[in-house]
A = this chain, B = another copy of it.
Amino acid sequence: MPDEHLTAEDLRDVWPVLSLDERFSGFQELSRGEADDFFLGLSAGDQSQMLAEMPGGERRWWIRLLAPDDAVDVLQRVSPARRAELLGALDEPTRTEVTALLAYAEDAAGGLMSPRFARLRPEMTVDEAIRYLRCQARERLETIYYAYVVDAGQHLRGVVSFRDLFAAGEGEALANMMKTDVVSVPDHLDQEAVARVIARYNLSAVPVVDVEGRIKGIVTLDDIVHVVQRAATEDIQKLGGMEALETPYLQTGLFHMVKKRAGWLAALFLGEMLTASAMSHYEDEIARAVVLALFVPLIISSGGNSGSQATTLIIRAMALGEVKLRDWWRVVRRELASGLALGCVLACIGFARILLWQTFLHSYGEHYFRVAATVAVSLIGVVTWGTVAGSMLPFLIRRAGFDPASASAPFVATLVDVSGLVIYFSVAEVILRGALL
């Protein structure tokens, strides 16, 4: 680092490309006031890395700075021994809150929520509520802009926005002006489903309730932006045919990254070996008609590409909630029609290509016309099959209880490659019988 004073802004700019050591020394160079904001703005992963680098006394100070839901995110990322140490550093009421939150799965509504929300009682008047919230403005509540009206048993009865309170008459009772049809989510709901609820109803915050309808916390819109971004990254990486990384690309260790990629790559390779077996099966045909081998890559890649389009479309539509399991039959029909249309387009191009080359460049032998017909008919079959198989795979994987995003483009391509060969050589046997075969 240069000798001038390092600002939080400078550090933020270079942060992604720094090593852990450089990050920590940069962080320590910040002035106290800047360091606070900077630390609070870090991801939970980065926060836990900074904490790990610090001496114990300092660590206790920084963990106390975090809101309970953020502290939970950090605690979920550290070793059990460190977790106990950090929990011990919290004050008693916060420790109770944090321990309760730790019981929830990290990717459920309960693991995402903050327990520090504003509670009001239905019998309060508007000006009592405003005065109460005003007192809370200095406290570390997640937001004072939405307040939840609960009865003595903590059951959620309604919600008021600060804005509505301001616009209402001062003496009015909350019971008369609160919104009673509150959208809430159960505490075990998956975080991506929570994100969909928030987006669907255009909410700034959503209350989280247990099975008895008691409010346990709130999830706010800013928590959701990270969930949405993170979920998309995981899906994209899975679609690329690998396991999702937990850390940004340049921060991921080389060995770790190779491990994340090697598993799927080896699995796909083992699957793809079936193509060698399929090709062996047709070895005699290839020996008799070498011209057939020339179009093998073209045929199988067309199936792979059309399958990749279909599977990508369906996986994303599922992730956005646009397509549900029960829609599979509608999807099959659509994709069958699309596949046929796309197959015909490629068949025409392929047919024309072979006749053109035959005329000007390269001879495919006396039976070139039958060869062209074989390629064209195979393309229709392979593309239609690739499209339908690619669209159905996410349904099958989801039905089996796994993440549909695992039906990556390379996975579909591998699946379609073997069947593409079978289609191609079967078509060849029919069309070229008596001619080349």
List chain A positions with a Cβ less than 8 A from chain B: 12, 16-17, 40-41, 133-134, 137-138, 144-145, 162-164, 166-167, 195, 198-202, 204, 221-222, 224-226, 228-229, 232-233, 235-237, 239-242, 245, 248-250, 254, 257-258, 261-262, 264-266, 268-270, 272-273, 275-277, 279-280, 283, 286-287, 290-291, 293-298, 300-302, 304-306, 308-309, 311-317, 320-323, 327, 330, 334, 337-338, 341-342, 345-346, 349-350, 353, 362, 383, 408-410, 413-414, 417, 421
Contacts and interface: CB of A to CB of B under 8 A. Distances in A.
A309 B240 contact: yes
A248 B308 contact: no
A291 B362 CA distance: 24
A270 B349 contact: yes
B225 A269 contact: no
A202 B229 contact: no
Contacts of A236: 232, 235-236, 239, 312, 315-316
A200 B225 CA distance: 11
Counting chain B CB atoms within 10 Å of each CB, the highest count among A41, A166, A200, A309 belongs to A309
A101 to B, nearest CB: 20
Contacts of A225: 195, 198-199, 221, 224-225, 228
Contacts of A279: 293-297
A294 B262 CA distance: 24
A119 B164 CA distance: 20
Given A232-B235, A237-B312, A261-B306, 18 more contacts: A138-B167, A204-B221, A221-B221, A237-B316, A239-B240, A239-B409, A240-B409, A261-B338, A265-B305, A266-B349, A272-B302, A273-B298, A273-B350, A279-B294, A279-B297, A297-B300, A304-B413, A409-B410
A286 B291 CA distance: 10
B327 A301 contact: no
Contacts of A40: 202
A173 to B, nearest CB: 19
B409 A322 contact: no
Nearest to A350: B269
Contacts of A301: 268, 272, 275, 300, 304, 410, 413-414, 417
